């Protein structure tokens, strides 16, 4: 977990000066954030929001850390498929398994989303929640991003670490609202993002109590993506956010829900347009597709954050 602590410390160090957002370039996006936070937290402001209602939600993949060339959780779950293969000889004739075993993600996706998801769920079930938690922690302690060649926990975005810390200093409560599963995120979000497990809203696999321990089942309990995100927010947070930050069409409904409330609201989207320092993608990407939300942003007055123009630094410790 040494990498966890190093990244968290990096985020804290960046906030020690007078500038709360040192990795954000001067421009409309930074100004919109600072103006909004000042307006809703300043005593006497007509748009003042009491601390109890200062709820900010952040998508995870592509908003707080890298999601290319595939979602980090996909990489983890694929490794679990390979590890579980000896116990499941029936997979030998499964075309999805064959593709994954050959590291052919494109071929696996070509079989359809449902067969792929079913196999991933099977490989990530049949164990206690405690054992799964250990597996998650062990994987993140050693796994490296395939192209950036750094631990996944160091592919988080420095500007977002600063923003979340700044919001919390202003009385906001920050939540992750992700299509990823809560079980894979909760072991490390406190150390990396400063977000405790109970403030992580995500998809979840089925879990049952067998009289002794909680056991993971080969079923999905809830999909917290797209139209599921406002539902997940309602069920687990119980309040409508006043700020939401996403990066893809999977976040469209979360931003719609957040900015449709009364009073001042802020919706933001990360636009991945920096192929040199990270990745450039939007409308055609199989992961993190940004199409409908990008078109709706100007109509809804959502702030589109250019990774290339608005972020002076992408990752902790690296410009």
Same structural domain, 185 and 217: yes
Same structural domain, 224 and 137: no
Same structural domain, 27 and 161: yes
Residue 316 lies in a domain: no
Q: What is the pLDDT of residue 140?
A: 97
Residue 9 lies in a domain: yes
Residue 204 lies in a domain: yes
pLDDT tens per residue across span 111-120: 988 899 899 9
What span, in angstroms and rounded, lies between the C-alpha atoms of 215 and 23?
Answer: 43
Of the three residues 110, 142, 174, the one that is the final residue of a domain is 142
User: Beta strand pairing status for 173-181 and 243-246?
Assistant: unpaired
Average pLDDT of the residues in 246-267: 97
Same structural domain, 204 and 299: yes
pLDDT tens per residue across span 143-190: 999 999 999 999 999 999 999 999 999 999 999 999 999 999 999 999
Domain CATH number, residue 33: 3.40.50.1000
Strands (DSSP E) contained in the chain are 55-58, 173-181, 200-209, 214-222, 243-246, 266-271, 303-306
Same structural domain, 120 and 162: no
Average pLDDT of the residues in 263-267: 98
Same structural domain, 129 and 217: no
pLDDT tens per residue across span 178-227: 999 999 999 999 999 999 999 999 999 999 999 999 999 999 999 999 99
Tokens of 277: 């320092």
Same structural domain, 136 and 160: no
Q: Is 7's pLDDT higher than 60?
A: no
Tokens of 84: 């579980």
Contacts of 87 (CB under 8 A, 6+ apart): none
8 Å CB contact between 123 and 76: no
Residue 319 lies in a domain: no
| Longest CA pairwise span in the chain (Å) | 67
Phi, psi values for residue 85, rounded to 5°? -55, -45
Show the domain range for 123.
72-142
**In this predicted model, which residue has the larger pLDDT, 7 or 163?**
163
Same structural domain, 238 and 265: yes
Q: Is 196 left (phi over 0), alpha (psi -120 to 50) or beta?
A: beta
Same structural domain, 179 and 273: yes
Average pLDDT of the residues in 97-118: 91
Residue 318 lies in a domain: no
Residue 147 lies in a domain: no
How many residues are given for the chain?
A: 319
Residue 197's nearest CA partner among 184, 213, 215 is 184
Residue 148 lies in a domain: no
Same structural domain, 192 and 242: yes
Same structural domain, 221 and 185: yes
* Count of structural domains within the chain: 2
Of the three residues 142, 163, 179, the one that is the final residue of a domain is 142
Same structural domain, 125 and 86: yes
Phi, psi values for residue 147, rounded to 5°? -115, -35
């Amino acid at each position: 977990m040494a990498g966890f602590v190093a990244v968290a410390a990096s985020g804290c160090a960046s906030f020690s000066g007078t500038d709360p957002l040192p990795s954000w370039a001067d421009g409309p996006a930074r100004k919109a954030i600072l103006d909004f936070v000042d307006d809703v937290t300043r005593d006497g402001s007509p748009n003042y929001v009491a601390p109890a209602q200062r709820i900010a939600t952040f998508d995870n993949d592509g908003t707080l850390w890298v999601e290319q060339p595939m979602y980090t959780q996909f990489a983890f779950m694929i490794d679990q498929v390979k590890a579980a293969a000896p116990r499941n000889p029936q997979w030998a004739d499964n075309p999805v398994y064959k593709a994954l075993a050959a590291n052919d993600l494109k071929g696996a996706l070509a079989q359809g989303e449902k067969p792929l998801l079913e196999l991933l769920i099977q490989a990530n079930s049949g164990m206690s929640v405690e054992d799964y938690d250990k597996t998650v922690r062990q994987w993140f302690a050693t796994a490296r991003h395939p192209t950036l060649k750094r631990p996944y926990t160091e592919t988080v975005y420095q500007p977002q670490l600063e923003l979340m810390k700044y919001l919390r200093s202003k009385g906001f409560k920050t939540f992750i609202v992700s299509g990823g599963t809560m079980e894979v995120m909760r072991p490390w979000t406190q150390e990396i993002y400063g977000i405790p497990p109970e403030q992580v809203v995500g998809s979840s696999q089925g879990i049952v109590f067998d009289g002794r321990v909680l056991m993971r089942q080969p079923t999905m309990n809830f999909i917290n993506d797209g139209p599921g995100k406002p539902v997940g927010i309602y069920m687990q947070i119980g309040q409508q956010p006043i700020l939401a930050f996403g990066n893809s069409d999977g976040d469209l409904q979360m931003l719609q829900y957040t900015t449709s409330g009364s009073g001042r609201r802020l919706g933001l989207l990360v636009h991945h347009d920096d192929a040199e320092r990270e990745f450039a993608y939007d409308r055609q990407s199989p992961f993190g597709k940004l199409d409908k939300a990008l078109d709706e942003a100007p109509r809804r007055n959502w702030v589109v954050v250019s990774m290339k123009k608005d972020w002076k630094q992408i990752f902790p410790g690296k410009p």
